[in-house]
Amino acid sequence: MPEIETTRLRLRYFTLEDLDDLFRLYSDPEVMRYLSPRTREQTQASLRKHIKQWQENNFGMWAAIHKASGQMIGRCGLGFLENTPEVELGYVFDKHYWNRGIATEASVATLEYGFGEVKLEQIVAIAKPENIASVCVIEKVGMKYQKNTRYYGQGVVYYSILRSQWQIDRANSHREMGEWSGIQSSGLSGIIRSRFYPLCVPMQPTSSSKPQTDPPLPPKLTLPTMYDLPSEDPEEPGLPDEFHDLQPQLLSRTLRLIDYTNDRIFTGKNINLYYDVRHPLWHKRPDWFLVLDVPRLYEKTDLRSSYVVWQEGVNPFVVIELLSPGTQKEDLGNYAELEPMVAETTTDALSITSSESEQNNGQGVKETPPKKWDVYERILRVPYYAVFSRYTNRLRGFQLEGGHYQEQTIDSDNPRFWIPELKLGLGVWQGEFEGITRQWLRWYDSEGNWVLTDTEQEQKKRAKLTEKLRSLSPEQLEALDIDLQELE
């Protein structure tokens, strides 16, 4: 039974010892929202089925191991579609790893194995129509919609792809698209890559989009990139000030992730975040956001002037907004009523919601973009969202649970918001940064210690060295040509 490695995953066969990890997934109501949670006995039966299927068919479900953490974070692979000889693609992943392209990465590897090693002629996939995330994964890997039908007692959309089409798509990817993901396995050689098709819903034609072909051209050839889109919006609501410049710097300079190297994360500071391929000019401008598992540079070569979700293929994992006068409703949605008002600002534009419309100079109804809260919660489904007010020094933290943000309890005397996947938390710190003493938002580690900036680390090393040198005699210091006063 083969094992496969992708950029971030090791796909191995199941053993009976995986019961606890599998049950953790199968018993989670949010993870199993579209499949129904299972009891431990049902999970044990599924586990035995996964193992048996490999023994009988040379394909089945793999346990997906996150290479960086060593944890089992899901399962993916191939199985027989209910009461048919058709082979279907299937996957389930821990909710803490959603919106990172993990399911797409695993699905591409699964299709490569099914077509390249097992020599299947066709692979299908089904999903409930309302399960938009799963439908997007299916479309990203190149499968084509065929019909609406019923399987497993529920209405589903049915997709499929032929081996011949996969081979064409793979050749196109090799020729036209950017970064490759290497896959090694016993009996499986070659290189494949994830194909990001963001058209999960029909796209309205725009002046910057080109007609799609069959097979589809990659997004870089058909959709706007960061080079085509504006990098700023002078009418963006908010109050620019020095705090909005310094605070994001402190957040980036204290971010030290254990499981991710600096060349595999991107932090955006007050740049445009384009989120809707149907409205390519719609964007938000978060004060600070973090994206995991993307190259630090755009296509590994260029500094980003904006972040275009349909080109990058990965949504932000954390977004932080700094409240300005008049932006409470935009940043906090219905929670804005609980936020103390700061200096008054009048702006009728902030009262517009995503469901409202406005008259466009007598030319009919004009669509208006949704608020930041709606974009982060409903469209991008950003797992963690934090809002900080420099006027009240209040930190508010929200976690996406069941498709909606739930405010987390934060101690007002020691404001801290822990994010377990990062092994870091956000806290309010009183201290000096860039010559200004006030309360700032910065990261702390699992032991509750503030993460130091590069400058603070050097100061700490310098202080330790000075303390050691104090034990030397004046003659020794003179021989080493060291002046303690210069070090202090």
Q: If DSSP codes are grouped into helix, strand and coil, which group holds residue 415?
A: coil
Q: Is residue 224 assigned to a domain?
A: no
Distance of alpha carbon 50 from alpha carbon 91, whole angstroms: 12
Do 278 and 188 sit in the same domain of this protein?
no
- Residues 44 and 171 both lie in one domain: yes
Check if the beta carbon of residue 203 is closer than 8 Å to that of residue 209.
yes
Contact 446, 258 (CB under 8 A): no
Q: Name 321's bridge partners.
A: 387
Instruction: Answer yes or no: do 169 and 103 share one domain.
Output: yes
- Is 125 found in the same domain as 83? yes
Per the structure, the complete domain to which residue 359 belongs is given by 242-451
Q: How far apart are CA 62 and CA 73, in angstroms?
A: 11
Q: How far apart are CA 422 and CA 260, in angstroms?
A: 9
Cα 347 from Cα 480, distance rounded (Å)? 65
Confidence at residue 249, expressed as pLDDT on a 0 to 100 scale = 95
Which residue type is seen at 487? Answer: L
Residue among 172, 168, 196, 380 at smallest CA distance from 299: 196
Domain identity same for 139 and 268? no
Has residue 250 been placed in a domain? yes
Domain boundary among 177, 192, 207: 192
The count of structural domains within the chain is 3
pLDDT given at position 208: 41
| Residue at which a domain ends, from 159, 192, 225 | 192
Q: Do 254 and 390 reside in the same domain of the chain?
A: yes
Q: Is 484 in the same domain as 379?
A: no
Q: Cβ distance 291 to 268 under 8 Å? A: yes
Rounded to whole angstroms, the Cα distance separating 165 from 138 reads 15
Q: Judge whether 338 lies within some domain.
A: yes
Would you state the pLDDT for residue 65?
95
Residue 167 is predicted with a pLDDT of 84
Quick one: pLDDT at residue 173? 61
Distance CA(397)–CA(335), nearest Å, equals 11
Whether residue 180 sits in one domain with residue 268: no
Q: Which residue ranges in the chain fall short of pLDDT 70?
A: 1, 172-222, 226-228, 230-240, 337-366, 484-488
Residue 203 within any structural domain of the chain: no
273, β-bridge pairs: 284, 307
Q: What is the CA radius of gyration of the chain?
A: 26
Q: Does 263 lie in the same domain as 305?
A: yes
pLDDT at 407: 95
Q: Give domain status of residue 360, yes or no.
A: yes
CATH of the domain at 124: 3.40.630.30
Residue 222's identity, in one-letter code, is: T
Residues 61-88 have pLDDT tens digits of: 999 999 988 999 999 999 999 899 999 9
In degrees and rounded to multiples of 5, residue 168 shows phi and psi of -65, -45
State the residue for tokens 């399960």.
131
Assess if residue 221 is contained within a domain: no
Asked whether residue 267 falls in the same domain as residue 180, the answer is no
14 and 124 belong to one structural domain: yes
The answer as to whether 216 is a domain residue is no
Element (H or E) spanning 107, and its range?
helix 102-116
Q: How far apart are CA 358 and CA 278, in angstroms?
A: 19
Q: Is residue 116 included in any domain, yes or no?
A: yes
Question: Are residue 434 and residue 460 in the same domain, yes or no?
Answer: no
C-alpha 120/C-alpha 323 separation (Å) is 55
- Tokens 């191991």 belong to 65
Whole-number Å distance between alpha carbons of 125 and 157: 8
The CA distances from residue 353 to 60, 229, 277, 370, in Å, are 46, 24, 19, 6
Among 192, 223, 252, identify where a domain stops.
192
| Strand pairing category for 154-162 and 122-127 | antiparallel
